[in-house]
Amino acid sequence: MKRRIISLMMVIALLAAMAVAPVGAMAATKVKILKVTVDGARVRSGPSSNYDVKTSVKKGSKVIYLGKTKNSFAHIRTAGGTEGYMYNGFLKNYGSCYKSQIYYSKKSGLAVYKKASTSSSKVTKLKKRQHVILYQVKGKWAYIKTLGGKGGYCKASSLSKAF
């Protein structure tokens, strides 16, 4: 009798774990960060060279990979927030992060400091809608890195989720 009860409880626990697993998996979705390999790579409004150019990106810039298309173009988002399509041949793998870590600056000129203090030296300033990777929040401060690799602290309230 005890064995049946224990077996039944284990089956229920296993079923419950399987029901919850997809939710956890979605929260942990990773996205690729790609590096642009040519200067002046064009971001287009659609997945071919027939579409309008929205902007161009410098060699060495990092972009967020959103998916592939059928015809050699990648669906991407630039560090500045422009979403569009770029030829796959202009991109190479750089790294990855969790989708939930990608944020953007709500205002232009957002200061990023070396330490979590406005009296600390400034590392850089973010442009409005500039995308960053959020690593940690402590109180009012967030430790972030730009897609270009500059890290530091900024006011957490000045960031918004990108996805």
By C-alpha distance, which of 47, 32, 38 is closest to 90?
38
Cβ contact 36:58 at 8 Å: yes
Low-confidence ranges of the chain (pLDDT < 70): 1-27
What's the whole-model pTM score?
A: 0.79
Instruction: Write down the pLDDT at residue 69.
Output: 86
Say how many domains are in the chain.
Answer: 2
**What's the pLDDT at 70?**
84
41 and 67 both lie in a single domain: yes
- 73 in any annotated domain: yes
Range of the domain at 117: 100-161
Distance CA 58, CA 56 (A): 7
Is residue 97 within 8 Å of residue 30, measured between CB atoms?
A: yes
Query: Among 41, 144, 120, which Cα is nearest to 88's?
Result: 41
64 domain-assigned: yes
Look at residue 114 in the predicted model and tell me its pLDDT: 97
What CATH number is given to the structural domain containing 152?
2.30.30.40
79 domain-assigned = yes
Residue 71 pLDDT = 86
